[in-house]
Amino acid sequence: MRLLHTMLRTGDLQRAIDFYTQVLGMRLLRQKDYPEGEFTLAFLGYGDESEHTVLELTYNWGVEHYDLGNGYGHIAIEVEDAQAATARIRAQGGKILREAGPMNAGTTIIAFVEDPDGYPIELIQAGQAIG
């Protein structure tokens, strides 16, 4: 078995696709409309689904907002330099939730940004022992 994808519901599919491709550097792998269900799925990631765990965006036609609740935590993305990544994302108009620095009660350098639907995304600096 392997982890295939994480699914997030979005209120604006193109806005979300633009964020994950233009700001976070993912590639749009495939997209499909399901007229009978009145929804569209888009899969994005850093490599083909045959070898990479990817993000599935679900757009329910006409649904613009979701209550994210208090159970969602984050999706984590590896970056070379968390400080540089947050500076670039901010320059592109992205919202930084938490500046780069050691994690709570630990040493791993992390940062948090917010996607257009309000989902927190964690940036973890590469080359560190997680701790």
Ligand X SMILES: C[C@@H](O)C(=O)SC[C@H](NC(=O)CC[C@H](N)C(=O)O)C(=O)NCC(=O)O
Contact residues: ligand X, CB under 6 A: 7, 9, 37, 39, 41, 56, 58, 60
What tokens were used for 85? 């990544």
Phi/psi of residue 54, nearest 5 degrees: -125, 175
Q: Name which of Ni ion, ligand X, none residue 86 binds, using a CB cut-off of 5 to 8 Å depending on partner kind.
A: none
Nearest residue (CB) to ligand X, 37 versus 47: 37
Catalytic site positions: 122
What is the residue-wise DSSP string for 51-118? TS-EEEEEEETT------TTT---EEEEES-HHHHHHHHHHTTPEEEEEEEEPTTS--EEEEEE-TTS
At closest approach, how far in Å is the CB of 1 from Ni ion? 15
For residues 107 and 30, give the distance between their C-alpha atoms in angstroms, rounded to a whole number: 37
Q: Name which of Ni ion, ligand X, none residue 39 binds, using a CB cut-off of 5 to 8 Å depending on partner kind.
A: ligand X
56 is known to lie in a ligand binding site: yes
Residue linked to tokens 């982890």: 3
Question: What is the x/- site pattern for Ni ion, positions 52-71, by CB under 5 A?
Answer: ----x---------------
The gap from C-alpha 101 to its chain's centroid, in whole angstroms, comes to: 19
Nearest residue (CB) to Ni ion, 56 versus 115: 56
Instruction: Write down how long the chain is.
Output: 131
Q: Which stretch binds Ni ion (CB under 5 A): 10-18, 48-56, 73-81, 106-114?
A: 48-56
65 is known to lie in a ligand binding site: no
52 is known to lie in a ligand binding site: no
Nearest residue (CB) to ligand X, 7 versus 76: 7
Residues found near Ni ion in the complex (CB under 5 A): 7, 56
